[in-house]
Amino acid sequence: ERNIAEFDILALYYEEQNGLFMQRAQEAYAKLLNSGDAVAQVYFINIDSRPTFKSIFHSIDINFPGVTAFVSNADIAFDDTIKLVEGKDLEDVFLVLSRKEVVPKVHTDDGLIMNQFGVPNTFSADVWIYQAPLKHYFKADFPIGTFYCDSFMNYYLGKSDYRLYNPCLSVNCFHIHDPVFNSSE
């Protein structure tokens, strides 16, 4: 619901197992449409299994050429700082965003994730932003939302002809995740 307020187009890739996701998503979207606030045009894209980065990039490039694409897991929410990316020249650039953790139950921002030395772990990323379609090749045939996929993605992007930046101190993305449930498993 939060992201619908920040974007013009939102494509949700989902694995449907029992119909509950679609039911809840449609109810939430209808509620937002009736609120009178501006909301994104939402595309619901049913998939059979966890997608790879490559399959998501390919889908965006085919279905939404020319857009500034933001790729993330469903447990990422943005605030209005995402507007700082609008109008930026992303020619040969990939932006990655490190997340800020949201404390469960109280929903407060706990700041950037830290490494073992107490320093913000800017090597970890949960959002990838680029100008569609992709211009340069890089390996991306591994599933999104799995352990260390962000490190793999950043490594391969770093070896490509893209310039890689992480403006996470200016642009917020929030990780809203129930620690009891680990979707990577």
Tens digits of per-residue pLDDT, 93-117? 999 998 887 765 555 666 666 667 7
Does residue 30 come out as left (phi exceeding 0), alpha (psi in the -120 to 50 range) or beta?
A: alpha
Give pLDDT, residue 160.
97
Confidence at residue 107, expressed as pLDDT on a 0 to 100 scale: 56
SS3 content of the chain, % helix, strand, coil (to 5): 25, 30, 50
- Beta-bridge partners for 127: 72, 97
- What pLDDT shows up at residue 54? 97
Q: How far apart are CA 99 and CA 171, in angstroms?
A: 10
Query: What pLDDT score was predicted for residue 19?
Result: 81
- In degrees rounded to 5, what are phi and psi of residue 44? -100, 120
pLDDT at 183: 52
Cα–Cα distance, 51 to 146 (Å, whole number): 11
pTM: 0.86
pLDDT of residue 116: 74
Q: What is the pLDDT of residue 104?
A: 59
Q: Which of 92, 95, 167 is nearest to 137 (CA)?
A: 92
Q: What's the confidence (pLDDT) of residue 139?
A: 97
SS3 labels along 122-133: CCCCCEEEEECC
Pairing of strands 163-165, 93-97: parallel
pLDDT value, residue 121: 66
Instruction: List the chain residues with pLDDT less than 70.
Output: 103-115, 120-123, 177-185
pLDDT of residue 144: 92
Share of the chain above pLDDT 70, in %: 86
pLDDT at site 26: 84
CA distance 2 to 107: 13
